[in-house]
Amino acid sequence: MSKNLVIVESPAKAKTIEKFLGKDFKVVSSNGHIADLPSKELGINIDNNYEPKYIVNSDKKDIVRKLKKESKTAEMVWLASDEDREGEAIAWHLYELLGLNKSNTKRIVFREITKNAVLNSIENPREINESLVDAQQARRVLDRLVGYKISPVLWRKVKGGLSAGRVQSVALRLIADKEKEIESFNPEKSFKITAEFFTD
């Protein structure tokens, strides 16, 4: 049993961080997101304020089981996923799915994998940033609503295998508009004048 359990996103970081922290710390990885919207349905309750319905994917069930077991025996759990909206959502999902509580859970972030940065993060923990979690959820819900609803229309009306997305659809529209502008351009004669001026 380790006194401290640190959960990072990437398994590649785990061993290095564990060396920095010493024998009282065990560092394990979530291997990225542990929960997502289901792949075979919309997974969003539109009638209930667009609430997402998260599930643990089958390839993550063993990881979640191991993390639950480890977290139950630790005196303190440190959520050390990346410092961005995806990392914050991972920390939030870990907190929720592992049944953690505030009294023995800390959120830590570091921008580099150095001993100094890691130790400094342990000395300066913070709360899970709910605004970043909300931002990630909004992005994920929008991606799902656009992609899940529009892609099947493209398959029926245009061609199978095409996809639509919140960002890619707008980008493709801008490219198509620019291409039309180039095709409709009428070249006109123009002149260039070069002059040299001399003074006395």
Q: Is residue 65 part of a domain?
A: yes
Residues 104 and 83 placed together within one structural domain of the fold: yes
Q: Is residue 172 part of a domain?
A: yes
Q: Reduce the DSSP state of residue 173 to 3 states and report it.
A: helix
Which residues span the domain enclosing 159?
Answer: 133-183
Residues 67 and 160 placed together within one structural domain of the fold: no
Residues 122 and 151 placed together within one structural domain of the fold: no
- Round the average pLDDT of the chain to a whole number and report it: 91
Q: How far apart are CA 59 and CA 79, in angstroms?
A: 21
pLDDT single digits (tens) 56-90: 989 999 999 999 999 999 999 999 999 999 999 99
Question: What pLDDT score does 123 carry?
Answer: 96
Higher pLDDT: 161 or 127? It is 127
Question: What pLDDT score does 91 carry?
Answer: 98
**pTM as predicted:** 0.80
Q: Is residue 198 part of a domain?
A: no
Using only the alpha carbons of the chain, give its radius of gyration: 25
Q: Reduce the DSSP state of residue 76 to 3 states and report it.
A: strand
Residue 95 pLDDT class (50, 70, 90 cuts): very high
Residues 19 and 77 placed together within one structural domain of the fold: yes
Query: For a pLDDT cut of 70, what percent of the chain falls above it?
Result: 99
Residue 1 pLDDT class (50, 70, 90 cuts): low
Q: How far apart are CA 131 and CA 54, in angstroms?
A: 18
Task: Look at residue 195 and tell me whether its pLDDT is greater than 80.
Answer: yes
**What average pLDDT score do residues 31-53 get?**
93
Measured over all CA atoms, what is the biggest interatomic distance in the chain, rounded to whole angstroms? 92
The CATH code of the domain that includes 38 is 3.40.50.140
Task: Look at residue 2 and tell me whether its pLDDT is greater than 90.
Answer: no
Q: How far apart are CA 163 and CA 15, in angstroms?
A: 39
Question: What pLDDT score does 132 carry?
Answer: 96
Higher pLDDT: 2 or 92? It is 92
Residues 121 and 137 placed together within one structural domain of the fold: no
Residues 151 and 83 placed together within one structural domain of the fold: no
pLDDT single digits (tens) 128-187: 999 999 999 999 999 898 887 788 788 888 887 777 777 777 888 899 889 998 888 888
Do the Cβ atoms of 83 and 124 come closer than 8 Å?
A: no
Do the Cβ atoms of 109 and 121 come closer than 8 Å?
A: yes
Number of domains in the chain: 2
Q: What are phi and psi of 29, to 5 degrees?
A: -120, 145
